[in-house]
Structure 1
């Protein structure tokens, strides 16, 4: 085990910074248990890509990236067991080699498994990544380990928990046979793509829409399962499309000073980078997952019931098109779809949902990005839920109204972690945590 003394933890976009006294890198479950048991307060992190302040802020920190082995395969059951510090891309490459897949993948592959699960990471047209947990081992606040499987009622609380119930040690994923997608991409006017959402969800195995604020257009991406040998005439569009992030960086450079510039920039970016049709094929991972971030961002994401989305979208579009406010939104807004589940803190708890991402490409000036406030206010009005790993202002009072199991989760958290070992200041406010019980009293 490696230990580093006295330093500063910095998030990937440098918006969050916290001093620490001890930083640990562990390579075995025994080391993981020892570090957790021997520290009064501790948080843990992977690649630091969360926009929410959940990963640091305590005297002791755990860097999980060194706890990253692929433990075993069960070829009959189609399961793979990994340590929670494994990078998602490494997991996906490992299961593709044996002809498997996880049917719903997030936008990027650079996050750790533990971080992805803790924050409710998802893809589109399927379920949250956490829904594919077959079993896991959870290190509790006292350093003991609890093994949890599908038959355990605790699993629905642990699946999405922001690391407030314990630290995931190993995770076993249920995989499925790999399949090939025929991907088609094209621009469509808002009046075209919006009415077709539910129809397309039934028709296609994959649906994602990149909405382009201030342009009245979206960029529709559909995927259909095909035989791997089916010939598809590949069209990846003009070569200059690879320069979209560079062009965005230039066009948005001063948008924090003059927000209205965004509306002009979006129209230029739409014409240059979202007006082409594309067509290709590949596995879900090959065809749809971004393999890297070109630049730092600040992100918010909100979800709402599928049936409410047209109304939410109409109100959002009307509001941001008013020149009387400064809610000019950088493109694209990522519109994705998640099927209902039973995880307590899932965005899709008991209902099919639509998720809508909101991005500021000027990460350093995100605090003055009015769009985050506008999006949050509109989604909250319709019972929308925030992505746990991204930026939002809602706290306990709002969350208890929109998450039916929020109070149950808080009660369980206090029971499993009575001394608030796994809470940093941000999380303590989020759950309105009561003063920690004295550790000696608990033991007694």
Structure 2
């Protein structure tokens, strides 16, 4: 176990910074237990990609990225057990090598497994990644280890998405499925075309994702259908210049924080240049749909709403951001995805089929003045929407208790498992309205 003293932790987009007294880099479960047991306050981090201030903010922090081994495979059950600091890319490559998959994957592969589960990371046309966790070892506040299985339904549903407030996930077992091949097609459609087709397309296709292009009245629809791996597909990746979209966005949005209306014009240019082509290809879910890198930093918010309510919410958002009387102009694209209902207490999809809608600022450094984040949050909360835990939002305990049916149950369990608030930092303390917390940070 390594220790670094008196440093500064900085998030990937440099929007979050915290001083710490000791940073531990661990490789063994016993080391993880020891550090937690001997720390008055402790937080832990992975790839630093969360926009919410959940990862650090205490004097002692743990770098989980060095705790990154594959522990074992069970070839009969199709399960794999890994340490929680493993990168998602390493997990997915490992299970593909033995002919398995996890049927719902997020947009990026550079996050750690523990961080992905803790914040409710998800893909589309399936369930949260955490729903494929069948067992985990959780290190509690006193340093003891508790193995949690699906036999303890309430506890595993509380732990699956918990922002690291119940304990530290150590090893995690995933239930996998046989690998399959997707035939992916992409094309632009007007809002009047793609919006009414959501439910029928969810039934028709195995994969559905819409990249909505604000201020253009258009979306970019991506569908995927399972096919035999040997089926021939004539690949069409579109024009070669499509690879320059991020650079073009960076140039066109450069001054949009000073003159937000520029965004509406930039979006029309970007939509015409980069979202007007049809594309077609095939591959495994991982090969065909997961972004392998991000070319630049950004800032993200994401909100979810029940499938039946989405059309109304969408029209309100569209109306609001197209008003030239405000500054809520939104960078391309708003990522629309679909998550099926589950029972995890802090899941966005608890008890309902859900639509998720991302909101991105390409200028990470000026995200605090990005008016769109506030407008989108206001509209989603009005209709009972739920925020993505790892992304930017302002709602706290009082509002969250109204949209998460199990919020108070979660808080009660948190108080039982962590009575001294060892796993809370200032952000999380305010989020759950924790009582009697004495906190110091160098």
1:36-435 aligned within 5 A: 36-152=36-152, 153-435=154-436
Counterpart CA distance in 1 for 2:253 and 2:147 is 48
Counterpart CA distance in 2 for 1:116 and 1:237 is 31
Counterpart CA distance in 2 for 1:119 and 1:437 is 25
Counterpart CA distance in 2 for 1:416 and 1:399 is 21
Deviation at 1:154, TM superposition (A): 0.4
* 3-state SS of paired residue (2:384): coil
Superposed CA offset, 1:408-441 (max 9, x none): 0000001100000000000000000011499xxx
Task: Name 1:8's counterpart in structure 2.
Answer: 8
* 3-state SS of paired residue (1:200): helix
Q: Is the 8 A contact 1:236 1:280 kept in 2?
A: yes
* 3-state SS of paired residue (2:56): coil
Counterpart CA distance in 2 for 1:358 and 1:307 is 20
Q: Is the 8 A contact 1:181 1:226 kept in 2?
A: yes
* 3-state SS of paired residue (2:359): strand
Superposed CA offset, 1:344-391 (max 9, x none): 000000000000000000000000000000000000000000000000
Superposed CA offset, 1:186-228 (max 9, x none): 0000000000000000000000000000000000000000000
Counterpart CA distance in 1 for 2:102 and 2:189 is 29
Counterpart CA distance in 2 for 1:83 and 1:383 is 35
Counterpart CA distance in 1 for 2:279 and 2:420 is 54
Task: Name 1:442's counterpart in structure 2.
Answer: none
Counterpart CA distance in 2 for 1:75 and 1:178 is 14
Counterpart CA distance in 1 for 2:240 and 2:43 is 43
Counterpart CA distance in 1 for 2:53 and 2:313 is 27
Task: Name 1:441's counterpart in structure 2.
Answer: none
Superposed CA offset, 1:247-296 (max 9, x none): 00000000000000000000000000000000000000000000011100
* 3-state SS of paired residue (2:341): coil
Q: Return the TM-score normalized by structure 2.
A: 0.99
Q: Return the TM-score normalized by structure 1.
A: 0.98
Counterpart CA distance in 2 for 1:110 and 1:148 is 26
Counterpart CA distance in 1 for 2:196 and 2:142 is 52
Q: Is the 8 A contact 1:106 1:289 kept in 2?
A: yes
Counterpart CA distance in 2 for 1:313 and 1:174 is 35
Task: Name 2:25's counterpart in structure 1.
Answer: 25
Q: Is the 8 A contact 1:137 1:146 kept in 2?
A: yes
Counterpart CA distance in 1 for 2:403 and 2:205 is 30
C-alpha root-mean-square deviation of aligned residues, in Å? 0.8
Counterpart CA distance in 2 for 1:364 and 1:429 is 24
Q: How many correspondences in the alignment?
A: 438
Deviation at 1:100, TM superposition (A): 0.2
Q: Is the 8 A contact 1:418 1:437 kept in 2?
A: no
Counterpart CA distance in 2 for 1:91 and 1:264 is 41
Q: Is the 8 A contact 1:418 1:436 kept in 2?
A: no
Q: Which runs of 5+ in 2 are unaligned?
A: none
Counterpart CA distance in 2 for 1:199 and 1:303 is 20
Counterpart CA distance in 2 for 1:35 and 1:246 is 43
* 3-state SS of paired residue (1:154): helix
Counterpart CA distance in 1 for 2:123 and 2:324 is 33
Superposed CA offset, 1:74-127 (max 9, x none): 000000000000000000000000000000000000000000000000000000
* 3-state SS of paired residue (1:57): coil
